[in-house]
Each structure stands twice: as structure tokens, then as C-alpha cells.
Amino acid sequence: MKTAIVTGAASGIGMGYATALVEQGYFVLVTDINEIGAKQVAERLTLRGPGKAEAALLDVTDPNAVAAAVHGVKDRFGRLDLMFNNAGLFIGGPVEELTVAHWRKAIDVMIAGVAYGVDAAYKIMVDQGFGGIVNTASMAGFTPFSYLGPYNTAKFAVVGMTLSLRGEASAHGIHVTAVCPIAVHTDIVAGANAGLDGNAPEFGYLAALYRRFGYLGHYLPDFILQDPVVHGRKVLRAVQRNRAIVIQPGYGRVLWWLGRIAPTLAPVVGHGAARLADSIRASITERWEQLPESVRNA
């Protein structure tokens, strides 16, 4: 049986990857720092088949834990076919209001966490002579958006890490892919800056709006806002075709091309967006503070 590991698979894009893999008959280790969520996903997918899924608690910022999970699958099945380094979180805000904790969290989870998965899986794959590594980046890894400094930084690093590895990995029969979603229906926005102090009121508003109205995203077509399972199936097909970069939904390629043709365009647009945001920020803050606690945390 082919095997795969997916980090950050208790929900969202990671859940979509795990679903697509089980549908193709893989054994999937569903890992997440949210152990209860991971177990629920694994149980549901195993009932669905034809593959199997098991859950494991995993903090990707712990290199020993990541290595243990990866080697556990290899020791048990004698092979590791695919490693999806997907765990991530949404971190940002005006840079002057960020703390070292914001930068450290982004680096620990979305750069170091990916590197730990690569380190453990790649060495196994070199020894066995096959395998694939899939790293979840973002269109923010090509197009830097204002107020997302830590997130942009991490995703640019993941793209660079992936493409750097891809060349030498191919000499060992290993495929390496960077996935760059632009709009997938997940709850990542609702957890913006989770556990960090100094959350910007704009992010609080955004999270509150998502918690209240996010379900409406299910009514949008996949070519605008992609369902995680649809996304997972498309990505898996692209990985099996050995694509270097996967951008979904497809209209994200327009931003990719614009970034190549006019690399300074994003900062120019960001300047205008920042000026606009600054001009309305006081009213947003005032309205946010007037909202009842029940609405803020709904």
C-alpha cells in the first residue's frame, strides 16, 4: 500500500489532501496539533475508503516529533511515497505593531516546520529511490500583500526551499512540488494571529465576519473559491504529473505572470492599499471596540 503523511490535516487544505489520497487507496497519517480534529478526519476517511487513515498529534515546530512520525510510517510500511508539509497559520498586521513573537511563530511553523518535514522525508526517499514532497506555500509566496509581512516572508521561503530542492531531488527519482493556493475555502482567516498579543482590529473584524458569514463560501463556484477537497484532488493530480508549481484556482496564474512581468507592481498596489487602510483604520477600531464581546467571539 502506498503511504503519505499530511501535516495540518485536521481541517482545510490538509483535510483536502488527505481525502484525495484516501480516495486513491493510500494509507494516510493525518497529523495536526489539533488531535481531536485529526482523529475525526481520519475516522471519516477510513469509513469512506478505499484507503485508510490514522491520526497523530504532531507539532511541526518539534523536529524530533516530525522525524518520529515520518520514520514511524516508513518502519511500519517499508516505504514513504508522499510527504505533504502543509501546516500553516495566518499571521500579519501593520509591521510597526508586530512583535518578535509574530515573526517567530511564522518562521517556526511555516519555514522551520516545512524544513523539518523535508529533512526527515527526503533522506528516506533518497535511500528508497522514489517519493514526492509537496510543500504548501501560497500566492503570497509570489505576490507580497500589505499587512502580511510574516506570512509573505514564510511563503516566499517555502517557494524558494521547494524549487531549490527540486533540481537535486530529481537526480534521486524524487518529485518536489510547491502548491500556491490563492482562494480555498478554509477557516485559516478565523484563526488570524491566534495566541499572539496585539491582534490588529482589522484582523479581528475579518475573523468575526468569517465566523458569522463564512459558510456562504460554499455557494461560490470552485473556480472562484475552491472547496478543499476539490483543491486536494487537483493538487494530487498535478503532483502525480510532477508539476513544479501548482496554482489553484487557475486565475492565480494571472497574478503570477504579473509578478514576473512587473515585479514592482505589488509594492505599488500595496502602497495604495496601506494608505487607504490607514485612512479608515480609526473608524474600524472604534466600531470594533463598540461591538459586544459575544459578537467579537461568535
Domain chopping of the chain, boundaries: 3-296
**For 242, left (φ over 0), alpha (ψ -120 to 50), or beta?**
left
Omega within 30 of 0 (cis) for the link into 228:
no
Tens digit of each residue's pLDDT (9 = 90 or more) over 162-175:
999 999 999 999 99
Chain centre to alpha carbon of residue 220:
21
Residues 66 and 61: their CA atoms lie apart, in Å, by 8
DSSP sequence for 119-150? HHHHHHHHHHT-EEEEEE--GGGTSPPTT-HH
Instruction: List the catalytic residue out of 17, 151, 205, 215.
Output: 151
Contacts 24+ apart (CB under 8 A), 211-220: 211/298, 212/298, 214/185, 214/187, 214/189, 214/190, 217/185, 218/185, 220/185
Query: What does the pLDDT look like over 175-210, one tens digit per residue?
Result: 999 999 999 998 887 777 777 765 666 666 666 667
Classify domain 3-296 by CATH number. Answer: 3.40.50.720
* 58, 65 contact by CB (below 8 A): yes
Cell 489532501 sits on residue: 17
Task: Please check the confidence at residue 298 and state whether its pLDDT lies above 60.
Answer: no
* Whole-structure pTM value: 0.90
pLDDT digits (tens, 9 = 90+) for 206-264: 666 676 666 777 778 888 899 999 999 999 999 999 999 999 999 999 988 988 898 88
151 is catalytic: yes
Give how far Cα 232 sits from Cα of 40, 165, 263, Å.
18, 22, 29
